[in-house]
Chains A and B, each alone.
Chain A
């Protein structure tokens, strides 16, 4: 075969070889078809472990219970027992190491998530005692009169 045919052929073979080498170097070794088959399971297997290693921030009330047993018991004997500690106190993450202190959210906007009155028929929302945030002691923090751990007017 004459060289004007062979030469471009060598170039093409070289390019293909280069792509294959690059693919071998770039694509991780655990990349491929996994349990869910080619259509749904074609991926890098170790990414599942990456997601599992993501940092947990909300530790739930079980985490608070032992050290803050007095606070835990006060909230658990009130109507607010259904609310997780961290919904108001913020995520514990690695408390007490990091963060050393949790900042309590005492803002009105937190309380009115449930207690802004919306009397929609046949909703559970209508059954929650509520106020009109634009009329009820505007500008004051709810916790000045209502104790969130003993949520009635006799709380203080």
Chain B
């Protein structure tokens, strides 16, 4: 058998190129898979809280606890509402009884009755997971149990979490806690089971006053995206560099 120098080099090159191609390059996606891949890349969930609209009824907290099976009477919750009063004498008082689960029904705050005439300004601030673009809670997980999905939601794998609690310490917003039943870290999922079916989160649906809204930040025609782009919004603890994706309208400097 004889082979010319040119043929030998050509076939060597062909084999090298062919073997460099991974098998995955030849994988055909079904139309559904291709559509899902494109859609997933076109979604980034974001949230707006309008503190001017919140009246502190706590329906959001109640709905969240029931929807997400968080033990109702345990002192833990995925979302909560805080009441802030800035008094005319300059003092600031804040509380969140049971996370605002049963609403705010009395003038008593931190064992002190404060009459509205003493109040200079007051507001209710609903809080939930900020689904940060740079989530510090995910970075510290030693086992890969918590992670961010392609559409920006930070989730916890309950079967994989070892309950070390690093993430609970790492979250600057205090949104994580131990689930009393599953004994693993727990947090707001933006109701991933609802938003992935085209529904709104349980808290957004439960709010009678439109103080909470969820939308797709990659869609420029989404009302939530429009509000964030055109109105004055702020995020919590911007200085931490976590890039929260829950935006607040009317956020006061006293809110922590």
Using CB atoms and an 8 Å cutoff, list the residues of chain A in contact with chain B: 31, 34-36, 39-44, 47-48, 50-58, 60, 82-84, 86-87, 91, 109, 112-114, 116, 118-126, 128, 133
B171: CB under 8 A from chain A? Answer: no
Q: Which of B54, B147, B193, B199 contacts A36 (CB 8 A)?
A: B147
CB distance from A35 to the nearest CB of B (A): 4
Question: Is A123 touching B123 in the complex (CB atoms < 8 A)?
Answer: yes
CB distance from A90 to the nearest CB of B (A): 8
Q: Which one of B11-19, B102-110, B162-170, B178-186 is at the interface?
A: B102-110
B159: CB under 8 A from chain A? Answer: yes
Q: Which one of B72-80, B202-210, B220-228, B231-239 is at the interface?
A: B202-210
Bound together, the chains give a CA A31 to CA B121 distance in angstroms of 50
| Known contacts A40-B135, A91-B67, A125-B55, A112 near B103 by CB under 8 Å | yes
Q: Which of B55, B57, B192, B202 contacts A58 (CB 8 A)?
A: B202
Question: Is A48 touching B155 in the complex (CB atoms < 8 A)?
Answer: yes
Question: Is B155 touching A125 in the complex (CB atoms < 8 A)?
Answer: no
Besides the contacts A31-B144, A51-B193, A118-B104, what 17 more A-B pairs have beta carbons closer than 8 Å? Answer: A34-B147, A36-B149, A41-B150, A42-B147, A43-B157, A47-B160, A52-B196, A56-B197, A57-B67, A84-B208, A114-B57, A116-B106, A120-B116, A121-B116, A123-B123, A125-B56, A125-B104
Report the count of interface residues on B (CB-CB < 8 A). 58
Bound together, the chains give a CA A25 to CA B202 distance in angstroms of 38
Tally of contacts, chain A with chain B, CB under 8 A:
142
Question: Is A113 touching B144 in the complex (CB atoms < 8 A)?
Answer: no
Query: Of all chain B residues, which has the CB nearest A54?
Result: B193
Using CB atoms and an 8 Å cutoff, list the residues of chain B in contact with chain A: 40, 52-59, 62-63, 66-68, 85, 102-107, 116, 119-124, 134-135, 138-139, 144-150, 155, 157-160, 189, 192-194, 196-197, 199-200, 202, 205-206, 208-210
Ordered by A's residue number, 8 sampled pairs between the chains whose C-beta atoms are within 8 Å are A54-B192, A56-B193, A82-B208, A83-B59, A116-B106, A122-B122, A124-B55, A125-B55
Bound together, the chains give a CA A54 to CA B190 distance in angstroms of 12
Bound together, the chains give a CA A53 to CA B155 distance in angstroms of 14
Query: Of all chain A residues, which has the CB nearest B57?
Result: A113
| Known contacts A36-B150, A113-B57, A133-B105, A119 near B67 by CB under 8 Å | no
Question: Is A120 touching B193 in the complex (CB atoms < 8 A)?
Answer: no
| Known contacts A36-B150, A58-B205, A124-B54, A53 near B122 by CB under 8 Å | no
CB distance from A98 to the nearest CB of B (A): 15
Bound together, the chains give a CA A114 to CA B53 distance in angstroms of 13
| Known contacts A58-B63, A120-B85, A124-B209, A48 near B106 by CB under 8 Å | no
Residues of A within 8 A of B55 (CB): 114, 123-125, 128
Bound together, the chains give a CA A47 to CA B159 distance in angstroms of 9
Question: Is B59 touching A87 in the complex (CB atoms < 8 A)?
Answer: yes
Residues of B within 8 A of A133 (CB): 105-106
CB distance from A21 to the nearest CB of B (A): 19
Question: Is B147 touching A40 in the complex (CB atoms < 8 A)?
Answer: yes
